[in-house]
Chains A and B, each alone.
Chain A
Amino acid sequence: MLRHLLRRAAGFAVTFLLISILVFCMMEIVPGDPASAMLGTSATPETLAALRAQMGLDAPAAIRYLRWLGGLMTGSMGLSYTYGVPVGGLILERLAVTLPLTGLAVLLAVGIALPLGVTAAARPGGVADGAATLYAQAGIAVPNFWIGLMLIMVVALGLGWLPAGGFPGWGEPAAALRALLLPALALAIPQSAVLTRVTRASVVEVMNEDFVRTARAKGASVSRALWRHAVPNALVPVITMLGLQISFLIGGAVLVENVFTLPGMGRLAWQALAQRDLIVIQNVVMVFATIVIAVNLGVDLLYTVVDPRLRRRA
């Protein structure tokens, strides 16, 4: 078990380092000097040199990379060129929107997909199965930001039930949750479509296993055989898909935050691009990528919890 954990942690560290090198190199070759961008064209060479030294830009690339890596670990990621505030604080502030948004989206996606997929699998070829398949095909095909626009049009502007955009902050938790509900639903629908498909396929497969037949032979009802025996054993592919989906969820968050003007990480990255705030782009991308690989590591470890066979093997 410990060896498995160590191996996974080492894999995480290597991937993290590779991404950090990639991100650093890409931002290095972006034309333009941050110091001259901050001071403008009227700056004298002396002030420019002084600012470059102050920002540590005069050091060799390898040293700057190591400094940045150290800063990432400690949270001191430098100052934003446009906001003039520490990037670490800016990211933390925005994570307070993006993390609850994606968390809520995952909850909604699982909440939709699990009952739908299991009901479809209970009677393959039945009405529920047909409806679930239709939902899965349509849900995968529709872009999340378009669902966001449709929700704004119908639920927010048409019916006036929920806000069309903006975020009041966590000072008012109920209003904050209301503001996150539609964007989370927009993110959740395509994810739930994928999960419905995986859940259905996985449960159908497990329902044909000997132990489910044995449970039925011992007198367990269909629903008990389904929920008590088949579903827990069918969860591994569902969790795998949840882990793989995190990358799409984060990409989706960038779009949906822009549709609903939510002050999250995605909107920060997009605004940073418009303002050419390279230090913000570099750190936001790195934090997002770290979340993706951390979630995948977490999912890997979660297998051992949900599937005892894997625990023994590990």
Chain B
Amino acid sequence: MTALAKLPGPVLRLRRGWRPGSAALLIGGILTACLVGIALTSLVWTPEDPARMRILQKLKGPLVSGLLGTDHLGRDVASMLMRGAFNSLTTAFAAVAVGAVLGTLAGVAAAAGSKFDAVLMRICDALFALPPILSAIMLGALLGPGALTAIVAIGVFMIPVFARVTRGAAMQIWAREYIMAARMAGKGTARITVEHVLPNIAGQIIVQVTIQLAMAILTEAGLSFLGLGLPPPAPTWGRMLAESQTYLLQAPHLALAPGLAIAVAVLGLNLLGDGLAARLDPRRRQAS
């Protein structure tokens, strides 16, 4: 500490002050906190009941009736957006949880020198070749449209993403000296994976979770747009956009509001992911 204090000022400031990705982390963190805050608030309070129809008030512009106007059934757009944030986030969280848990398990198993490495990676290739919308169309035939269809379709597509990231990161850890030392100390593969590998790759998994959450929100919106997401009357951003199609010139706010909400939510999570990557991901940290 004394040695550090003796270093010339600018170098010290550079080391202390310059944190890669700080701006992205800050802006992304604020936007994501707002998104989560709005989603949670919608459970206890919205300006109006999002499902309440007031036909006489239909297609009113922003500030004429409510903050963001009303839709073709006279429902309050701001309230629908708020509850839509909750619906979108919960589906995205559940899908990413499926992908992250199964993908991480497959990835660490493959990296630990499992006999199934090649088979696991081949299965990942196959899953990655099925875009979530196509899986959702197949699942829609099987289960009908709904949250489960969306969660499984998006989650399954994310398994290979997490498996590849985890496998690559875990393989690097397995090559370290301290793993060899743990082996010499008599620890088994499973114990080393839990005690040494997983804690060391947790940062990269967290970064990936954030980025994939953004991806899941986009995909969920697409599925809801096609009618494959949560069924009505639960408001979703995607279905709000689908319903706005008929009124593009008459009531453009119906298309603008949910589109911007999706963009801001995804932008926030992407920035947060970038910021976290600069801090937590060793490869990115070295690169920056």
Interface residues of A, Cβ cutoff 8 Å to B: 11, 14-15, 18-19, 22-23, 26-27, 29-31, 137-138, 140-143, 145-146, 149-150, 152-153, 157-158, 247-248, 250-252, 254-255, 258-259, 266, 269-270, 272-273, 276, 278, 281-282, 284-285, 288-289, 292-293, 296
Could you say which interface size class chain B belongs to? 35 or more
Q: In the complex, A288→B222 CA distance in Å?
A: 18
Rounded to whole angstroms, the CA-CA distance of A292 and B133 in the bound complex is 14
Q: Are A248 and B137 neighbours in the complex by a CB distance under 8 Å?
A: no
When each residue 217-241 of chain B gets 1 if its CB lies under 8 Å from chain A and 0 otherwise, what string results? 0110110011000000000000001
Q: A146-B255, A149-B241 are in contact. Are A269 and B134 (CB under 8 A)?
A: yes
| Contact between chains at A289 and B130 (CB < 8 Å) | yes
| CB atoms of B270 and A141 under 8 A apart | yes
A201 to B133, CA, bound (A): 30
The secondary-structure label for the interface of chain B is helix
Q: B142 to A23, Cβ gap below 8 A?
A: no
Asked if A137 contacts B131 (CB within 8 A), the reply is no
Residues of B within 8 Å of A153, CB to CB, are 248-249, 252, 255
The proximity string for B residues 143-187 relative to A, scoring 1 for CB distances below 8 Å and 0 otherwise, is: 000000000000000000000000000000000000000000000
**B245 adjacent to A276 (CB under 8 Å):** no
Closest 6 CB pairs of A and B: A251-B131, A146-B259, A18-B126, A141-B266, A141-B267, A292-B129
Given A145-B241, A255-B225, also A150-B137 (CB < 8 A)? no
Decide if A281 touches B225 in the complex (CB within 8 Å).
no
Chain B contact residues, CB within 8 Å of chain A: 122-123, 125-126, 128-134, 137-142, 214, 218-219, 221-222, 225-226, 241, 244-245, 248-249, 252, 255, 258-259, 262-264, 266-267, 270-271
Inter-chain contacts of B132 with A (CB < 8 A): 251
Separation of A98 and B78 alpha carbons in the complex (Å): 36
For residue A280, give the distance in angstroms from its CB to the closest CB of chain B: 10
